[in-house]
Structure 1
Amino acid sequence: MRSHYCGDLSINHLNQEVIVCGWVNRRRDHGGVIFIDLRDREGIVQLVFDPQHSPESFTLADQVRSEYVLQVKGQIRPRPKGTENLDLATGQIEVWGQDLKILNASETPPFPVDEKMEVGEETRLRYRYIDLRRPENLQRLRTRSLIVQQLRNFLDSQGFIDIDTPILTKSTPEGARDFLVPSRTHPGEFFALPQSPQLFKQLLMVAGIDRYYQVAHCFRDEDLRADRQPEFTQLDIETSFIHEDTLMDLMEQMITKLFATVLNTQLTTPFTRMAYTEALNQFGSDKPDLRIPLKLIDIGDLMQEVEFKVFSEPAQNPQSRVAVLRLPGGATLSRKEIDDYTKFTATYGAKGLAYIKVINCSQGTEGLQSPILKFIPNEVVEEILNRTQAVDGDILFFGADKSYIVNEALGALRVKLGHDHGLVEQGWRPLWVVDFPMFEWDEKENRWHALHHPFTSPKEEDLPLLEQNPAACRSRAYDLVLNGTEVGGGSMRIFQSKTQAQVFQLLGINDVEVQEKFGFLLNALKYGCPPHGGIAFGLDRLAMLMTRSNSIREVIAFPKTQTASCPLTEAPGSVSESQLRELKIKIINQPSLVK
């Protein structure tokens, strides 16, 4: 139906006869000559209809409106001097219309496609097929496609094999909530949609596949955020007979080549590597944004003997922390701005946000402003100034509470201050976070949880700690963080059944549940399982960052809202009584859910 895409036409096609198809982006009537900007996925070209040149087409052109679908045959001519549009790839030429066909009319769309106006997300998602006509949204999907293509090309070149794993599988514990699918042929039993292909890719290593990858669709029934969706896509990778350092080096090559190809950007290699404890101590987060130069500084040792219990009690508690964050030039902050930051940290559990303004260091404590100075000895204040390297014009913010509260509150404040005060460096700062703890203690459930997942291998030198001191046991896990966003995570896996059973026992998973949920894995480990490990990259997050979008919803063709619903299809929806009967399911006290 067409000879060229609209956006592919150029001065090189002068005097050629072409056929283009697309949507009416804009129509203008200029004194008897009608101009139509026709849009397709490659761009926009200007069509010209003159009643003397083609009267029938001119009459039809007078009828068309925005988003009509057209087919136009015409001749490429240069635009008259002075009318070129240098902002448009096709801005030097125009198509003189000879034959126009209206392939389909369009009602007035709920929002204009050709204007950069703000439209509510609910409306955009309800009419997502129109929203995707916007060039910037189409470009996001094109970039995402290019990202996937380049990742596949790299892995293919490195001997990885693309293998699909099941979508209908078994529900297993130790993760987010599963999406369950009732079985019609096995009444009362359920499949689960996979949260990841984790167990199947490990079984592929037992099978001798050696190098596997998959662009995998995964599902998690969890609360949503800007970087979460109930269904998402990840690049899943697993390989045998490899050390984590080698695997991380290989992944650096892949990501470096990806950025060079898609964004024409050279990433600095090797990527920085940082221990989990160092990340928390300095940045309050295990996914720190290294573009922000601010750091948390421990002062617990200075506060242990002060009379001010807000500081001394956390300083004396090994489960707590006292830390300070210095903002250069922050002494100019108003009382209202400080109050706003205090409210911000409160959302992370902080009970307050103490501060000291450094007005004039040469005057000692007389040159400081703070409501807490009267509670802290002068010599302690001086040591805090020395340790933080505070200078005139700075402000110091303090956190004192349980370690996780201080880390989350001051860590989030660090990022906010960096953005609010223009301290974020340009460019990309990739980071490997390593040496994660194997376990974290859940005080509510009074038991250990796997920090990553229960198939992560402990460090070889820490194996005795599984029995002696699980809190000190480190894992062979690694996360790739890019500008404060975790884009990939993986680990070396447990490949011996004895160690895997030991970890299950430590996590409080009894033998019956282990056999029921993971019996097939433990059996497989008995039959010559090789050492192996892998990683999964969040494709949605990676595409979000590389297209500089605000949310992964912008790089997913048909995303869900933050309430996990689809305004376009109105999913989730009700089902018929006959469907429920087939599945042997009865809905109790919720008749509105059934048609």
Structure 2
Amino acid sequence: MRSHYCGEVNETLEGQSVSIVGWMHRRRDHGGVIFIDLRDREGLVQVVCNPEDAECFAVAERVRSEYVLKIEGLVQLRPAGSDNADLRSGKIEIIAKKLEILNASETPPFPLNELLDVNEDIRLRYRYIDLRRPEMQQRLRFRSQITRQLRHFLDSNGFLDIETPILTKATPEGARDYLVPSRTHQGEFFALPQSPQLFKQLLMMSGMDRYYQVVRCFRDEDLRADRQPEFTQIDIETSFVEEEDFMNMMEEMIRGLFANVLEEALPNPFPRMTYAEAMDRFGSDKPDLRISLELVDVSDLMGEVDFKVFSSPANDPRGRVAALKVPGGNNLSRKEIDDYTKYVGIYGAKGLAYIKVNDIDAGREGLQSPILKFLPDEVISAIMQRVEAKTGDLVFFGADKATIVNESLGALRVKLGHDLDMVERGWKPLWVVAFPMFEWDEKSARWHALHHPFTAPRESDLALLDSDPEKCLSRAYDMVLNGTELGGGSMRIHKTDIQQKVFELLGINEEEAQDKFGFLLNALKYGCPPHGGLAFGLDRLVMLMTGAASIRDVMAFPKTQSASCLLTDAPSPIDDALLKELNIRLRKNPQAE
């Protein structure tokens, strides 16, 4: 039906006859000559319909936006001065000899040839039209290019592409499972996998040695811009490898990806930073190194002050008092400071203290803040010295549980960086390493795995599993890029006694461990090799590399933030007959009544 894609017709085809198909992107009537911009996935090409060709011209007069057309014509160079440098086909035009309407179109719900701010719900409801936009097509083509590049690297390095089950057993991995009722096993359920974690470990026990998969994963959790109920991972696992060798290999893969796809050179090697340092300096385990602002701990300076807002967390083993200096921030208005105070409240902060530095050489008299009356001169002086304050700066303070201070000031640091145009251009990757094995949950009064229950502890910290689990560090590593976690991984537990001990610390008793993970514990008994891996979030990676604001803009058919599909109206009610067949009865929500 076609001889060439629209975007591939260029000056090398001058004088040749071509056949193209696509959608009518734009139609212009200039003094009796009709110009049609025809669009397909490869781009646009300009078609000229002259009135001398009466039959062709008559059809051209009838076409409207998004009509599907087939055009046969002659390629010629555009008149001097009329080239379009924005198009690959911008040096030529096609003189139409035959024009056929393959299908008409109703008026689209939004125009595709203008840069308009279209409501996202409308875009998702008519996703098949939204995906015709050149910007969306380019992103999905880019996504395909990324997966092709990653597959090539992994294939070239001896990894096997192996599929793992989608219908599996429900296991606790930090989010809710999507459950699938079984018709043949009445009253029992499959779960959709949150990740292939256990199956890829079983593949290592099976001797597959190196595995990867571009795999769909499912998590029934609250959504954000970088979260979806179903998402794609580049899942990787390998045996008989130390973390340094594996991390170096993953670095090489990502460096090659950026070099080949974006022509960007990433550092070699990526910098490494411990979890403790990342939290201390940036309040986050995925710090954006493009922003130079850093948190500075001042807990030791606040322990003896009379102001309990500072002294109480300063003397709490799980508390923290930290400062965040904003160079040149002295000109922030009271309203702006109040807005930032509301912002940190989202993360649990009860307030946001500050000091404006009007004249650093004037001591207390050169500072402006409601909290100055609570602080002795020597404390004020020590704080200013520690944060290296200068005239014109502003210093924010957070004081609370360390988790709240880190999360709120860490988020404020990023927001200030963007608001005040303090974000360095370019790419800043790093590895965050030496994560704690466990974190204490005060609500449930028990330990939780910081990564997942199958992460191996450091060999040197094995004794701490019995004596002091809080100090036990894991063999986990996260790759971070510009403040986004690209992928998380670890060396895995490959010995039964250690896995059982970790389950015990997590409050998973022997009976529950056998019920949920018995197949894994049994497999560990039969010669499990040392192994580890990593999973990259493909959607996040594509979002970063394309500059999209949300992963919804790099997925073909995403869900909304409420986990619904506006295109297909899913989820939707199920026929009573099918529910009866599955032995399921719906119960009305008392609150709804």
Q: Distance in 1 between matches of 2:588 and 2:400?
A: 45
Q: CA contact under 8 A between 2:173 and 2:194: conserved in structure 1?
A: no
Q: Distance in 2 between matches of 1:302 and 1:258?
A: 47
Q: What are structure 2's unaligned runs of at least 5 residues?
A: none
Aligned to 1:477: 476
Q: Alpha-carbon deviations, 1:302-357, whole Å to 9, x = none?
A: 11111111111111111100010000000111111111111111111111111111
Using the TM superposition, give the Cα deviation of residue 590 of structure 1 relative to its aligned residue in structure 2, in angstroms.
Answer: 6.5
Aligned to 1:308: 307
Pair 1:528 & 2:527 matched:
yes
Q: Alpha-carbon deviations, 1:353-395, whole Å to 9, x = none?
A: 1111111111111111111111101111111111111111000
Q: Distance in 2 between matches of 1:442 and 1:394?
A: 37
For 2:265, the aligned partner's letter is Q
Using the TM superposition, give the Cα deviation of residue 83 of structure 1 relative to its aligned residue in structure 2, in angstroms.
Answer: 2.1
Q: Distance in 1 between matches of 2:132 and 2:582?
A: 40
Matching of residues 501-580 of structure 1 within 5 Å: 501-580=500-579
- SS of structure 1 residue aligned to 2:578: helix
Q: Distance in 2 between matches of 1:278 and 1:83?
A: 58
Judged with a 3 Å threshold, the aligned counterparts in structure 2 of structure 1 residues 96 and 174 are, in CA distance, closer, same or farther, namely closer
TM-score by length of 1: 0.98
Using the TM superposition, give the Cα deviation of residue 173 of structure 1 relative to its aligned residue in structure 2, in angstroms.
Answer: 1.8
Pair 1:584 & 2:579 matched:
no
Q: Distance in 2 between matches of 1:351 and 1:576?
A: 49
Q: CA contact under 8 A between 2:26 and 2:37: conserved in structure 1?
A: yes
Q: Alpha-carbon deviations, 1:509-535, whole Å to 9, x = none?
A: 111111111111011000000000000
Using the TM superposition, give the Cα deviation of residue 12 of structure 1 relative to its aligned residue in structure 2, in angstroms.
Answer: 1.0
Using the TM superposition, give the Cα deviation of residue 108 of structure 1 relative to its aligned residue in structure 2, in angstroms.
Answer: 0.2
Aligned to 1:19: 19
Aligned to 1:488: 487
Aligned to 1:105: 104
For 2:569, the aligned partner's letter is E
Q: Distance in 2 between matches of 1:349 and 1:502?
A: 34
Matching of residues 260-275 of structure 1 within 5 Å: 260-275=259-274
Matching of residues 370-381 of structure 1 within 5 Å: 370-381=369-380
- SS of structure 1 residue aligned to 2:27: strand
Aligned to 1:49: 49
Aligned to 1:448: 447
For 1:275, the aligned partner's letter is T
Q: Distance in 2 between matches of 1:228 and 1:168?
A: 22
Q: Distance in 2 between matches of 1:365 and 1:445?
A: 45
For 2:93, the aligned partner's letter is E
For 2:541, the aligned partner's letter is L
For 1:298, the aligned partner's letter is D
For 2:351, the aligned partner's letter is G
Q: CA contact under 8 A between 2:72 and 2:99: conserved in structure 1?
A: yes
Matching of residues 160-239 of structure 1 within 5 Å: 160-239=159-238
Q: Distance in 1 between matches of 2:449 and 2:349?
A: 26
Percent sequence identity is 67
Using the TM superposition, give the Cα deviation of residue 174 of structure 1 relative to its aligned residue in structure 2, in angstroms.
Answer: 3.8
Q: CA contact under 8 A between 2:67 and 2:104: conserved in structure 1?
A: yes
Q: Distance in 2 between matches of 1:88 and 1:153?
A: 30
Matching of residues 381-400 of structure 1 within 5 Å: 381-400=380-399
Aligned to 1:460: 459
- SS of structure 2 residue aligned to 1:62: helix
> How large is the RMSD of aligned CA atoms in angstroms?
1.1
Using the TM superposition, give the Cα deviation of residue 81 of structure 1 relative to its aligned residue in structure 2, in angstroms.
Answer: 1.8
Q: Distance in 1 between matches of 2:393 and 2:421?
A: 15
For 1:24, the aligned partner's letter is M
- SS of structure 1 residue aligned to 2:527: coil
Aligned to 2:7: 7
- SS of structure 1 residue aligned to 2:325: strand
Q: Alpha-carbon deviations, 1:101-128, whole Å to 9, x = none?
A: 1000000000000111010010000000
For 1:37, the aligned partner's letter is D
- SS of structure 2 residue aligned to 1:305: coil
- SS of structure 1 residue aligned to 2:62: coil
Aligned to 2:126: 127
Q: Alpha-carbon deviations, 1:62-110, whole Å to 9, x = none?
A: 0000000000000001111222222222111110000111000000000
- SS of structure 1 residue aligned to 2:215: strand
Q: Distance in 2 between matches of 1:447 and 1:299?
A: 29
Aligned positions, number = 591
Aligned to 2:362: 363
- SS of structure 1 residue aligned to 2:560: coil
Q: Distance in 1 between matches of 2:218 and 2:203?
A: 21
Pair 1:338 & 2:325 matched:
no
Q: Distance in 2 between matches of 1:443 and 1:268?
A: 40
Q: CA contact under 8 A between 2:23 and 2:67: conserved in structure 1?
A: yes
Q: Distance in 2 between matches of 1:564 and 1:206?
A: 36
Aligned to 2:32: 32
Structure 1 segments of 4+ aligned residues over 4 angstroms from their partners: none
Q: Distance in 2 between matches of 1:335 and 1:580?
A: 59
Q: Distance in 2 between matches of 1:118 and 1:85?
A: 25
Using the TM superposition, give the Cα deviation of residue 31 of structure 1 relative to its aligned residue in structure 2, in angstroms.
Answer: 1.6
Aligned to 2:249: 250
Matching of residues 84-163 of structure 1 within 5 Å: 84-163=83-162
Q: Distance in 1 between matches of 2:177 and 2:353?
A: 42
For 1:83, the aligned partner's letter is S
Q: Distance in 1 between matches of 2:498 and 2:267?
A: 38
TM-score by length of 2: 0.99
Q: Alpha-carbon deviations, 1:439-497, whole Å to 9, x = none?
A: 11111111111111100000000001111111111110001111000010000000011
Q: Distance in 2 between matches of 1:175 and 1:20?
A: 51
For 2:28, the aligned partner's letter is R
